[in-house]
Amino acid sequence: MNIIFMKEISEILKAYSQAKSEGKKTALATVVKVEGSSYRQPGARMLVTEDGQLTGAISGGCLEGDALRKALLSINQKQNKLITYNTNNEDDIELGLQLGCNGIVHILFEYINDEIPNNPIQLLQQLELERKEAVIVTVFSLKRNAHQIGTALFFRKESPVLSCNNDIPDLISDVNEVMQTKTSAVKKLPGENSTEALIEYIKPVISLVIAGAGNDVQPLVKMASILGWKVIIGDGRATHAVSKRFPKADKVNAVKPEQFLEDILIDDQTYFVLMTHNYKYDLAVLKMLFETSCQYIGILGPKTKLQRMLNDLQNEGIKISEEQLKRIYSPIGLDIGAETSEEIALSIVSEIKAFATGKTGTSLKFKTGKIHDEIHYGE
């Protein structure tokens, strides 16, 4: 499953808003296709302002210098441009990059014209209006000097299709397939211009809901914030559940356990962590979570604590199914030998990230094949 990281898009939108308020022209650089190995995959983006400010990333830093020059050219000429970087050649005299990534990276540079409805930035802005999965289509051509359509279509179930170009081919069937498989794809389009479409599947950002407002929650909130996750905290202690203790959290609630789930939207990107160090509070929240559709419930503490909780719920006459048990992760976190609160936070964040992307959390040293999931390339 290929999930585009929403944090980068959110930062790009903020940077664009700031640039627009200051009257600065901008261009959007997007990795649209990769052949072989590359640090970033299709869908990676970077915003460039006319005074050279960069937000986001299209590589590990090796392409950004030349990409800045190409983006400024796109801004000055008010045209979209596609540039191909061959990172197989370490002796590339023209670029002098010496990348050694063993791949070919195609990057589309789009001049952002504020006067055009549904321009690339406006289509990206749709992602933040609703917490729902979506598909964005970027049309490009590998043919030299060809017209580059660019970011052209936004699709979300039960919403109108938004497009900035009436000349793009009918891709709705392909968009629906990507939405159904939840996997991005690059499709070759009919015609003589070597035109292709990057059809991206984009999920909402992870929402981390934490029961607990102790000191050990603070590093967890900080790490989740760095990753761009939405963080909600709930705790029964009014002295602990205060925003000034968790400035990076999106919401901090001092609530009784029976009120914990009020106003919390639960979808397949919502993850719960129980770590109040109050057994009865955690037990009450767990009982309510069993009645929801959440797929991940992490509980801090040893296996004996979890078994006690399950026994107590069963003594109340609550039948716990195998499906419900599979949703519980306790002891929470990946086994990295964590002991301090910071290490435990790293362990928790790593396990949730692995779960969200369908990974196991094993060392890449032992992985066969490429690091990143393959983008499907089809006719």
pLDDT in tens, 251-297: 999 999 999 999 999 999 999 999 999 999 999 999 999 999 999 99
The predicted pLDDT at position 96 comes to 41
The predicted pLDDT at position 376 comes to 63
Q: State which fold the 207-357 domain adopts.
A: Rossmann fold (3.40.50)
Strands laid side by side in the 230-235 sheet: 251-254, 230-235, 207-211, 270-274, 297-299, 328-329
The predicted pLDDT at position 368 comes to 77
Residue 42 contacts residue 200 (beta carbons within 8 Å): yes
- Helix 217-226 to helix 341-356 angle, to the nearest 10 degrees? 40
Token reading at 211: 């029961």
CATH 3.40.50.720 domain range(s) in the chain: 207-357
The predicted pLDDT at position 154 comes to 95
Per residue in 210-223, pLDDT tens? 999 999 999 999 99
Per residue in 105-135, pLDDT tens? 999 999 999 999 999 999 999 999 999 999 9
The predicted pLDDT at position 158 comes to 86
H-only helix segments in 189-302: 217-226, 279-289
Residue 134 contacts residue 127 (beta carbons within 8 Å): yes
User: What residues in the chain have per-residue pLDDT under 70?
Assistant: 1-5, 37, 87-102, 165-167, 192, 370-379
| Cα separation, 299 vs 289, whole angstroms | 12
The predicted pLDDT at position 44 comes to 93
User: For the chain, how big is the Rg over CA atoms in Å?
Assistant: 23
